[in-house]
Structure 1
Amino acid sequence: MFKKTGAATAGSISRLVHRERMCFFVMALGGLSLGMTEPLSAETLLSALARAYAGNPDLNQSRAAVRVRDEDMPKAAAGMRPRVNIQASAGPYYGNLRLPAGRNAMTGQRQFTQEEYTGYPRGAALNISQSIFDAGRTSNSVRQAESGVFAARATMRLTEQATLQNGATAYMNVLRDTAVVNLRKNNIAVLEEQLKQTRDRFQVGEVTRTDVAQAEASVAQARSELYAAQAQLKNSIANYRQIIGVEPMHLEPGRSLEPLLPRSLQQAIEIALVEHPGVVAALHQADAVESAVKVAESALAPTLSVNAQVSQQWDSFLGVPGSRQFAAAAFAQLNVPLYQGGSEYASIRQAKEQLSQARLNADLQRDSVRASVVSSYGLLETARASIISSRAAVKAAETALTGVREEAKVGQRTTLDVLNAQQALLNARVSLVVSQRDRVVASYAALGSIGRLSAKELQLDVALHDPGVHFEQVKTKWFGVDTPDRR
């Protein structure tokens, strides 16, 4: 009776172990389906990143910020463009004029004449002003605005890199956590079968109540770990939805970007110091501040402009009805600043200090990028080594578990030994899944650290955003309140 039960139970555990091994193989090397039994199409890592590139709100907000900065160009160029305005006025007028008229011949008292005027004076004037020389203020303002646009584009590239890297991390986190949940579910099934076998053996006096309690504790602990893994998976799914924009359904395994990386760390550092958006943005910001210094210095130089005015007035001479006046004038105006309270000198000194700060910030960005490259390459190497170690650990743990179970059948191992071996195998498999995830995520981080993580570099199937289109549309625009997209 006991041998028959034991053989059946051992057969059940063997089938569960085989199913666990196949499940782990699928999860570690294949895709994962979330909520779909027969998916019409699989979601790959690159297709998910294409979704994020096209619709991520943070990235779209950054693109809008660049378009806002583009408008600084026509604003700066306006300094050397003509200014035209019309002034008009109209309104009732009342006047009382009292004038001396000599002295009275009889009394000798002074005499006066008095007149009252009522009318409706009105008039209009056309004023035109054109700056001829502004000591380079406009040209330097244009260069400052252009550098600001380039800095904004580099900042947008930083956001693009962060979005793609966060998207890859969210994608791989869902894969990892789904695999861990499935591993823990299957582990519970194995432990429950182990508990059933232990109880059967306890009924025939083969094991003690302690063995049963140990098996029950393992099942309870496994359920607790499953609940924690499910909570982690829900959190990863929420992050995926936030970054990618849709719920994860059927995810294919992600691939590492190691083929796109420079072959050596030194090459990666050299590329990063030139191409990384953080460094590029800092250099453009320094250029913008350098132009700002020249703009501030122009306040000390003379300016020259020409002006013209044409005006027409009606009833304007003391409100006398019927009076009319026409005037036209053209003149040049030279302004030579001598002393304006010292504020212009303070502005120049302040701009020079800001330039020094911007250059120091560029040095800071270079150091930060260098450290990021070294760190990301180190994490990638660690993940690669961890995969090799974890695979060896899984293989050794499978062999150990099989041996412990066989030895337990003949009484050479206890139930606790079997449970410990099962837990060791589970831990090794979870570690392998985590290491595989870490390798993909680290490869994206490494490519981002050198400044080449972009939709173009990844060849995403999406229309690439070109910030230069909007810039060309508005940089020389003289009139109009509508944006190029007719908003």
Structure 2
Amino acid sequence: MGRKNQGILSGITTAALAAVMTMAVPAISNAETLLQALSSAYSNNPELNVARAATRAVDEGVPQALSGYRPNVNASGSLQQTWTDTDVRNGPDTSTDIGSGTLGLNVTQNLFRGFRTANGTKQAEAAVLASRASLLNTEQNILFSAAEAFMNVLRDQALVELRSQNMTFLGEQGRATRDRFEVGETTRTDVAQSDARISLAASQLNLAQATLNSSRAIYQQIIGNQPGNLKQNFTADRLLPNTLDAALAVALSDHPAILAATYNADSSSFNTKVIEGELLPTVTLEGDVTRTYNFDGATRQRDSASITGRINIPIYQGGRVSSRVRQAKEIEGQRLLELDLTRQQVRASVISAWGQLTASRAVIVAAEAQRNASQIALSGVIEEQRVGQRTTLDVLNAQQELQDARVNLVSARRDQVVAAFALVSAVGKLNAQRLGLSGQIYQPEEHYEQVRDKWFGLRTPDGR
């Protein structure tokens, strides 16, 4: 029985270690790598595509604001038919039938709008910059979620393999215990203890499989395809700052969430000036050209043209504009408070992520030591059981401790990779360009340049 248990242990140990090491050195040449999964998420993730579409929509605010500098041209036309009957008391009755038509062209050019066009353009440009920063923040959140989903599937696959191997070991141990019971070398209690551990292992295996299915579903949602053979060949360590102070300095100056909040505050400030401009005079220049046709037997026409300068000086609007100015100032203050809040949140995220990464590295060292010690302990307990110095329960306990150590090691290795990505994300540097992802990098500036100075046209740059 001792040699049989040792053979089982040796096989299970080799397979278990292989399962754990798949997180670092897989042997499958056609496996999907972490960088490939991140590239897929970058290209296919629906949330990221929604954010890109939103950024393109914000770009249109600039040409809308610039339209205030451009003339408005309107054409008009009308047809009129007039019938008149006149009943004269001491003379003949008369009637007339007159038709007329009018064509007109009106051109209106704003000369002064209380600086609303200039400030509106600056507001729209600040909104574009805020939208780009928000897009970059969404991008790094998606990439972090993709990395986390990848590592979760890799971890859960390893855990299912470990739970399955544990079932095999306990099954063999249970059969050996029943054989010994039949020849009177052990008791019914030992058999019951073995059966109980087998049942526990079965429930753990079922739970591990359910967790893996959930992780696979999340993987497909974020990355866009079903996970197959995964290969973890990349860590974010090269992107990490050397010290916590350096991480904080980079995050507080360059984090896209902080940049977005800053540009939103700028946009809100310009919006206040736009509304204040409604209290200033408006100067416009209008030009009209009209041609009138009269159809009264012989066609006659009359042409006219005029140029009109107008000035409109607002005096009182019922308090509506004043209220909007006050409201805009409150919103501006709110945006500044949100900026301070975002800085505090980023700072807390960096410190937390730094602590998580430091702790995960220490956990791996402890987990490896636990795994090695538990391996030696199980081998010794099996050998001592063979000579009658240990019970079946001792073997089961030693196997459970080894199983726990292996599970801890798999989880710790996953946690270290995820913590590294979390720190890069907290610093604000987790993006496709720094990761070197394959495929085309989305450039929001291209769409902006295509639409900024468009005077007309209904089609979007991509042809819709």
TM-score surpassing 0.5?
yes
Q: Does 2:332 align with 1:352?
A: no
TM-score calculated relative to the size of structure 1: 0.91
Give the Å deviation of 1:254.
4.5
1:97 & 1:354 partners in 2: Cα distance? 67
1:11 & 1:429 partners in 2: Cα distance? 19
Aligned equivalent of 2:70: 81
Give the Å deviation of 1:29.
3.1
Identical columns (%): 42
**In structure 2, do the counterparts of structure 1 residues 88 and 196 end up closer, same or farther at CA, with 3 Å as the change threshold?**
same
The letter for the 2-side match of 1:134 is R
Give the Å deviation of 1:239.
0.9
Aligned ranges 1:274-353 → 2 under 5 Å: 274-315=253-294, 322-353=299-330
1:481 & 1:328 partners in 2: Cα distance? 32
1:10 & 1:337 partners in 2: Cα distance? 96
Contact 2:35 2:234 in 1 (8 A): no
Q: Does 2:384 align with 1:419?
A: no
2:90 & 2:377 partners in 1: Cα distance? 132
**In structure 2, do the counterparts of structure 1 residues 113 and 337 end up closer, same or farther at CA, with 3 Å as the change threshold?**
farther
The letter for the 2-side match of 1:366 is R
Contact 1:45 1:253 in 2 (8 A): yes
Aligned equivalent of 1:13: 8
Give the Å deviation of 1:472.
0.6
2:48 & 2:123 partners in 1: Cα distance? 25
Instruction: Identify the match of residue 129 of structure 1 among 95, 101, 108.
Output: 108
Give the Å deviation of 1:314.
1.7
Give the Å deviation of 1:432.
0.5
Aligned equivalent of 1:120: 99
Give the Å deviation of 1:118.
2.3
**In structure 2, do the counterparts of structure 1 residues 113 and 172 end up closer, same or farther at CA, with 3 Å as the change threshold?**
farther
Q: Secondary structure at the match of 1:296?
A: helix
Q: Secondary structure at the match of 1:85?
A: strand
Q: Deviations over 1:361-415 (max 9, x none)?
A: 1001101111111111111111111101100110111111111111212222211
Aligned equivalent of 1:392: 369
1:381 & 1:40 partners in 2: Cα distance? 32
**In structure 2, do the counterparts of structure 1 residues 113 and 299 end up closer, same or farther at CA, with 3 Å as the change threshold?**
farther
Instruction: Identify the match of residue 165 of structure 1 among 135, 138, 144.
Output: 144
Give the Å deviation of 1:7.
5.1
Q: Does 2:174 align with 1:195?
A: yes
Which structure is larger by alpha-carbon Rg, 1 or 2? 1
Aligned equivalent of 1:206: 185
The letter for the 1-side match of 2:455 is W
Across the aligned residues of Structure 1 and Structure 2, the Cα RMSD in angstroms comes to 1.9
Aligned equivalent of 2:405: 428
Aligned ranges 1:229-248 → 2 under 5 Å: 229-248=208-227
**In structure 2, do the counterparts of structure 1 residues 334 and 20 end up closer, same or farther at CA, with 3 Å as the change threshold?**
same
Question: Which is further off, 430-439 or 457-466?
Answer: 457-466
Contact 2:5 2:382 in 1 (8 A): no
Q: Does 2:204 align with 1:225?
A: yes
Instruction: Identify the match of residue 452 of structure 1 among 429, 447, 450.
Output: 429
Give the Å deviation of 1:242.
1.1
Q: Deviations over 1:435-472 (max 9, x none)?
A: 10011111111100011000011111121111001101
Aligned ranges 1:29-48 → 2 under 5 Å: 29-31=24-26, 41-48=30-37
Q: Secondary structure at the match of 1:464?
A: coil
1:403 & 1:112 partners in 2: Cα distance? 138
Q: Secondary structure at the match of 1:125?
A: strand
TM-score calculated relative to the size of structure 2: 0.96
Q: Deviations over 1:155-186 (max 9, x none)?
A: 11111011100000010001000000000111
Give the Å deviation of 1:23.
2.8
1:96 & 1:446 partners in 2: Cα distance? 90
2:231 & 2:256 partners in 1: Cα distance? 30
Aligned equivalent of 1:49: 38
Give the Å deviation of 1:114.
5.9
Contact 1:268 1:373 in 2 (8 A): yes
The letter for the 2-side match of 1:20 is A
Aligned length: 464
Aligned ranges 1:92-103 → 2 under 5 Å: 92-96=81-85
Unaligned runs of 5+ in 2: none
Q: Secondary structure at the match of 2:266?
A: helix
2:379 & 2:91 partners in 1: Cα distance? 131
Contact 1:31 1:250 in 2 (8 A): no
Contact 1:119 1:321 in 2 (8 A): no
Q: Secondary structure at the match of 1:305?
A: strand
Instruction: Identify the match of residue 467 of structure 1 among 431, 444, 449.
Output: 444
**In structure 2, do the counterparts of structure 1 residues 321 and 134 end up closer, same or farther at CA, with 3 Å as the change threshold?**
same
Aligned equivalent of 1:481: 458
